[in-house]
Structure 1
């Protein structure tokens, strides 16, 4: 038998299923895991010493906004590869780069900030996927088509629900995107361009999901005082469609809502008995999105991540900026817009309760386009493994790995991913369980994590001891 391409030897394998770790070698050939066991006597072109280390499936970012990043492979550092992420699910919150044919001036915020002011436009979803394939992305990627993107293109007045003709046009775009390779539809009725959309509109636009085995991921209408009503709306859309539902970045915002996760998790657990529904979350008690002046009073602190009219205030506390301007917080925020912000409005106990709930996946929700981004972009996955699993003992390391590998692979239909087993793709990460840690902070959000020895994407070494080795090993994934 010819030599294996690579053997990772002597490590403790956590296979992504939540089963206890097993000390064994992992043999790779042609981008696929071929053999497991004692491979010391097996010939291989390359060997990686993993003694004293954990060998796990590459992490799957269940909620990413890497749509542009996938078209821009970096030369030296990568926020996802450096933390062991080998697959991302992009196109979330109703925002996707395609299909989009309208002039930039007609694109509403926040979609305008998301797509960026450049010349790349993709009239069809398949054109965008072809561009990603042509570049050779740094990570594997599965894609959702965004309802807000479709609304921007087809709904003449975004302050009202779509007409039957507009809804039908959006549904045709969903059908075409699914045929091209999208795994589902995302919605973001929290944001102004889609806020007027009704449950009926979302259900009608998503109708093609049934025949194509797609899913719907929803940034719900409210994550604050009206969260119960918003969850019921999303659950109703999922039931009407008859497809799997993902509640995006589940959280409770606003000081008055601290502690309510116990109730929302019970609601979701009851719903899961009658329909396929799951959630993702990020492991931080602060959120990040556009700076919305009306929202700043709900947070203990607000930090600016970018500002178009006043870029000099990027990275600063809104309270300090407002004091210098001699204005209230909301008035100062209005001066800074369009802008982005980190909102310190969540309760750590809620974060832990949601993260520990059975069936919760891990997603970064990182925003690569922000000048001073939330540290989740660079630190979400090591933070779960180090801070929450090892230090706080919120759950076992095997459970933590399952939440970011086998579980999202199953939920999103990514067959052959998220597991260490013969025949699965060789997406792998080797890390030191005693040292792994997120180092990105709100003051230094671009710091790479510690404790990761190697990251493999489709059998190719993408990162070795913190050095980017290969930024083109990924591929576009389809559901199933």
Structure 2
């Protein structure tokens, strides 16, 4: 007997193929049948008549490392969107391996001031599994986290011995089940790192067939050099390289996605490379004075220097206080911000590109977060697929499921097909939409009827039903104890 039949829906299977009318049968957390299941016995039925049934969405770019350890009260920012799997540890920032009794340097503090208590990455994975997370988790090791742990002076490149210790930590993490390495060369803790350092630290990825996700060193005037560097690192390691939240910042760079995407296409003919992006023309990260002049507006998302600034315009606050926005940054720091510095045409062009996956890049611990934390996936379905007709619904779903699973090596996720994990979303194609805005960024989306995680009904009509149905998805390729890092060339 089946545990569940999702009956009467229209299946968009995650491959990009045309939709079809079919029932979906589930047993022991797996999809066992797709077709006409009328008359087959099942312990539970879910009526999906008039609805789309598709794989659970895979958020390939998150900072949910700490969020997954707890049980959010009220609506869940990811389950309410139909997300069933998240990739954590992006932009060089992971919660492990790092022991710290004090708040680590920005941007690591985007994950919070505490919980830095995992000396080994495997300890974090074990704690996460013990917490029984709401979502499935694919976990990356952050290069910046490794630098804070091992590099004595963050203002210089790592020495050969420091790079060797970072590589040894990465190898240990990969053996424990980490899926790869992320970098954040844009940010202060890693800004001094050279490409050669990243290659030395990332050397264990090659044998483990791990993935490398890269926040480029620059997303503005020096985007071409930064892109070449990232592609060079990916080629040197011989692994899949993901260009994180690809975008163009600053007015004089608007429109340059034509050239950057052409460069990615040329590289893709010779090496594995892809991208992720979020469906908004505003970004969010730590509050940086260098970003102010590139932006038409800056909203403060949190501030330890002045918590009352959260949710306010930096420019308006500066006028009220009679100082420059750049001077105010120093008064508010450490802090986070939303920057309006991108052009919608670039967002559309990048989002529509065949190599682009969807990631929210949401910051779960911001006091007033970017709305992408709550609205990314319904926004792709509603605004870009249904209203803007940027691509068909089947393509939108593929970018959020099958493509992501294939690129991250999730062999049994991202498809509605027998044998695949029963991560399933049921939604109303005509009405699904994001409702989170910059004024009200935590408003849940609408049109997501039901979300199943590993066969369990986890969310229904925005209400969390099962907050512990997720699993830690560990990479199984092992390096073994014989691995030794080549370190950096002297």
User: Shorter-chain TM-score: what band?
Assistant: over 0.9
Residues 195-251 of structure 1 show CA distances to partners (whole Å, capped at 9, x for unaligned) of: 000000000000000111101100010000000000000000000001110000000
Q: Which moved more, 1:119-128 or 1:221-230?
A: 119-128
Residue 42 of structure 2 is aligned to residue 44 of structure 1: yes
Tell me if the contact between 2:69 and 2:133 (Cα under 8 Å) persists in the aligned partners: yes
1:319 and 2:337 correspond: no
Match of 1:373 among 334, 349, 369: 369
> Which whole-Å CA distance do the structure 2 matches of 1:313 and 1:205 have between them?
39
- Distance between the aligned counterparts of 1:110 and 1:13, measured in 2? 41
Cα distance, 1:272 vs. partner? 0.3
- Contact 1:307 / 1:337 at 8 angstroms: preserved in 2? yes
Q: How many residues align?
A: 476
**Which segments of structure 1 move beyond 4 Å, counting only runs of 4 or more?**
none
Q: CA deviation at 1:335?
A: 1.5
* Alpha-carbon distance in structure 2 between the residues aligned to 1:291 and 1:226: 20
| Change over 3 Å in CA distance of 1:313–1:102 after alignment to 2 | closer
CA distance in 1, matches of 2:462, 2:171: 41
Q: 1:108 — aligned with what?
A: 105
1:123 is matched with which residue?
119
Find the aligned partners of 2:195 and 2:439 in 1 and give their Cα distance. 40
Query: Offset of 1:118 from its aligned partner?
Result: 2.6
Contact 2:111 2:365 in 1 (8 A): no
Assess if the C-alpha contact under 8 Å between 1:436 and 1:452 holds in 2.
yes
Query: TM-score, normalising length from structure 2?
Result: 0.96
Residue 89 of structure 1 pairs with residue 69 of structure 2: no
Out of 401, 405, 412, the residue aligned to residue 408 of structure 2 is 412
Q: CA deviation at 1:359?
A: 1.5
Shift of residue 102, structure 1, vs aligned partner: 4.0
**Corresponding residue number in structure 1 for 2:168:** 172
CA shift for structure 1 position 60: 0.1
Contact preservation (8 Å) 2:98, 2:116: no
Structure 1: gaps (5+ residues): none
1:5 alignment partner, SS class: strand
Alignment of 1:57-456 (within 5 A): 57-104=55-102, 107-111=104-108, 113-456=109-452
How far is 1:119 from its partner?
A: 5.0
Deviates more, 1:284-293 or 1:113-122: 113-122
Q: Distance in 1 between matches of 2:92 and 2:433?
A: 31
- TM-score w.r.t. the length of structure 1 is 0.98
Deviation string 1:44-74 (CA, Å, 9 cap, x unpaired) is 1111110110000000001010000010122
**Any stretches of 5+ residues in structure 2 without a counterpart?**
477-490
For residues 119 and 148 of structure 1, the distance between their equivalents in structure 2, rounded to whole angstroms, comes to: 17
Q: Say what the alpha-carbon RMSD is for the aligned residues.
A: 0.9
